[in-house]
Structure 1
Amino acid sequence: MAEHDQIFRKEALDYQAGAQGQGTVLRLSPSWTRWAFWLLLAVVGFYVAFGIFGWVTQYASGPAVVRMQGRLEVTALSAGQVTSVEVQPGQRVKEGQILARFFAGPEQASLERYEHEFELLLLQRMRDLTNEAADQSLTSLRAEMELAKFQLEQRLVRAPQAGVVSDVRIRRGQHLSEGEVVVALVQEDSPIEVIAMLPGGSRPLLAKGGKMRLELAGFQYQYQELLIDQVGDGLVGPEEVRRYLGPELADSLTVNGAVVLVRAHSPSRFFEADGKQLAYFDGMQGTVDARVKSERIILTIIPGLKTLFH
């Protein structure tokens, strides 16, 4: 057979005929695969056990505001211009003490006129004890004087109870309408209450005695543990929340959708932040996380297993 009719080249045949060593099957060293297998098995076992015995907790989160119980807002009895503010924040006041004065020029002038007329009529009556017209005039003027005194009293703002001034909302020269807040009073050593607005969907899972975690604005990662005192029976909308909080806080909190109002108390008038004892103040805001549900991790990953664990 001619050389060009062969399938393989002559050089290749000569090489194979003269080759003495043959290749062997590739062998893997079993030294590292043995411990790697057991390590992988241990890791898988750990995660399976963690999923079965570990628990994950779900929280309902929402805005919250700090309030002092027993807080009383004193309002203006009538419209007018403030002529003087008699108190300042932190000052202790007695019941009936004057907190502010409104301009009372016309009322004061009317009272002085009635008193002057009353004195003149009284002199006439004493000179003539039979003067019945003077008697009738005195009775009428006495009623006018009482009305003038009442109107003059309306120009004063007095403390309805003893307490501590927590906030003064007015300044001298300011014009106020009837019903506007003048001063806020609190009882000394008033307990601290936290009002949280949590999503309405969490209402069935919230109950008295549950735990809440408060994080005040400006004190990040400084958590205060609270116990729930009261949970609202119904859900309220943003407008109702604004009316409940009052005009001074309504615009500073953002509430979306229906929420449930949850109240909790603080065991102390102070909270700890960065190792320091700081005082709560009325109106402080923050965020609350309330624990609503806990379940095994594996049930969260595979919800179909809930029927087995139930």
Structure 2
Amino acid sequence: MEAVRSKIFREEALRHHEGSQQEGDVLRISPAWTRWTYWTVLGLLLVALAYSLLGTLPEYASGPALVKVDGQSQLTVDAPGVVSSVEVRPGQQVEQGQALVRLRSEEETVSLERIQREFELQLIRILRDPSDESARQALTSLRAERELAEARQQARTLRAPQAGVVSDLRIRRGQYVTPGESVVSILGKDVTVSLVALLPGGYRPTLEPGRPLRVELDGFTHEYHTFTIESVGDQIVGPAEIRRFLGPEISDALQLNGPLVVVRARVPSSTFTSNGKTFNYFDGMLARADARVREERILVALIPGLKGALGHEDR
């Protein structure tokens, strides 16, 4: 019999079975501990229920935004040409009328010199014969041509329209420029800063002037500035119209989707502070804008069907 058992069971199991065994005790639970746990869990449930009934969740209209600096003059060229010299550098202080950029003007110079020679010849004819009417008529015509040629030659030099600081310089010597191309910007003394936010068009009925707008500038993560909404567009437009409104200089840097509404906010200062340092706002700086549009109770957010039963109203 022992041989049969040894074949069925392992020797270790048999030795353990034949050895002395001690039975375990009954599990005992303290009544004080169970009561304390029960009331704690019940209290937490009541607190969570009260918080869900009284607490609210804010809803935000969020979208890209950019900084606009007013009081800045953008200089463009009226005719194509090649840059012969750049007379300034970024950050340089300039006076009104100071030359900034010169374009090659060989054709204008040759034309002006030709007209000037003809003008002097006709003037000599009049001095020799004051009664020469044809010379007088030619002199009058040449005087108008000379003024036009001088204006064309002067137009080949871009001058500062106001005193200020060179804030942007986009050209170099020898570069070819086309009509309408922006080449230099002058930041005047009277500068105002605003923010243009592009928010989802579906939130237009809930957006109003006077409400706060929270802004996070690109490059300054988790640093928020709160501005006041100054105006809200009356039209909801698509991305193509927004790009036309912003212009080619900055529109390509934004990712626009769906219908949008333009919201403007007033920036009270031309500078901002980050980590104890002061920085200037620059035209075209990108940001993220959030406008609070409504709030709803947490319980309603969890169970939308309770909205009517609780008499919930958006705020």
Deviation at 1:26, TM superposition (A): 8.3
**Alpha-carbon contact 1:59-1:293 (below 8 Å) kept:** yes
| Letter of the structure 2 residue corresponding to residue 38 of structure 1 | W
What do residues 146-195 of structure 1 show as CA deviations (whole Å, max 9, x unaligned)?
22112212222233344432211211111111111121233324122111
Q: CA RMSD in A?
A: 1.9
**Alpha-carbon contact 1:64-1:195 (below 8 Å) kept:** yes
Partners of 1:195 and 1:89 lie apart in 2 by 25
Matches within 5 A, 1:156-195: 156-195=157-196
Partners of 1:265 and 1:208 lie apart in 2 by 11
Change (3 A) 1:45 1:117: same
Partners of 2:271 and 2:162 lie apart in 1 by 25
- The sequence identity of aligned pairs, in percent, is 50
Residue aligned with 2:278, SS? strand
Match of 2:291 in 1: 290
Deviation at 1:241, TM superposition (A): 1.8
Match of 2:6 in 1: none
Partners of 1:303 and 1:50 lie apart in 2 by 17
Partners of 1:108 and 1:276 lie apart in 2 by 51
Match of 2:7 in 1: none
Match of 1:230 in 2: 231
| Letter of the structure 2 residue corresponding to residue 256 of structure 1 | N
Match of 2:249 in 1: 248
Partners of 1:26 and 1:284 lie apart in 2 by 69
What do residues 192-226 of structure 1 show as CA deviations (whole Å, max 9, x unaligned)?
21111111111111111111111111111111111
Match of 2:119 in 1: 118
Partners of 2:262 and 2:245 lie apart in 1 by 10
Partners of 2:215 and 2:135 lie apart in 1 by 72
**Alpha-carbon contact 1:110-1:148 (below 8 Å) kept:** yes
Residue aligned with 2:191, SS? coil
If you compute each CA radius of gyration, which structure gives the higher value, 1 or 2?
Answer: 1
Partners of 2:226 and 2:274 lie apart in 1 by 13
What do residues 248-287 of structure 1 show as CA deviations (whole Å, max 9, x unaligned)?
2121111111111111122222222223222222211121
Give the TM-score, by structure 1 length.
0.86
Matches within 5 A, 1:25-40: 28-40=29-41
Deviation at 1:28, TM superposition (A): 4.7
| Letter of the structure 2 residue corresponding to residue 140 of structure 1 | S
Match of 1:309 in 2: 311
Question: Structure 1 residue 215 and structure 2 residue 232: aligned?
Answer: no
**Alpha-carbon contact 1:77-1:157 (below 8 Å) kept:** no
Partners of 2:41 and 2:138 lie apart in 1 by 109
What do residues 64-115 of structure 1 show as CA deviations (whole Å, max 9, x unaligned)?
1111023332110111111112232233434433321111111111111211
Change (3 A) 1:97 1:26: closer
| Letter of the structure 2 residue corresponding to residue 80 of structure 1 | G
Residue aligned with 2:33, SS? helix
**Alpha-carbon contact 2:196-2:263 (below 8 Å) kept:** yes
Match of 2:98 in 1: 97
Deviation at 1:128, TM superposition (A): 1.8
Partners of 1:204 and 1:235 lie apart in 2 by 11
**Is the deviation greater in 154-163 or in 275-284?**
154-163
Deviation at 1:303, TM superposition (A): 2.2
Partners of 1:196 and 1:297 lie apart in 2 by 28
Question: Structure 1 residue 56 and structure 2 residue 66: aligned?
Answer: no
Partners of 2:133 and 2:278 lie apart in 1 by 74
Deviation at 1:35, TM superposition (A): 1.0
**Is the deviation greater in 249-258 or in 270-279?**
270-279
Partners of 2:117 and 2:227 lie apart in 1 by 64
**Alpha-carbon contact 1:230-1:262 (below 8 Å) kept:** yes
Give the TM-score, by structure 2 length.
0.85
Partners of 1:26 and 1:278 lie apart in 2 by 69
Deviation at 1:143, TM superposition (A): 2.2
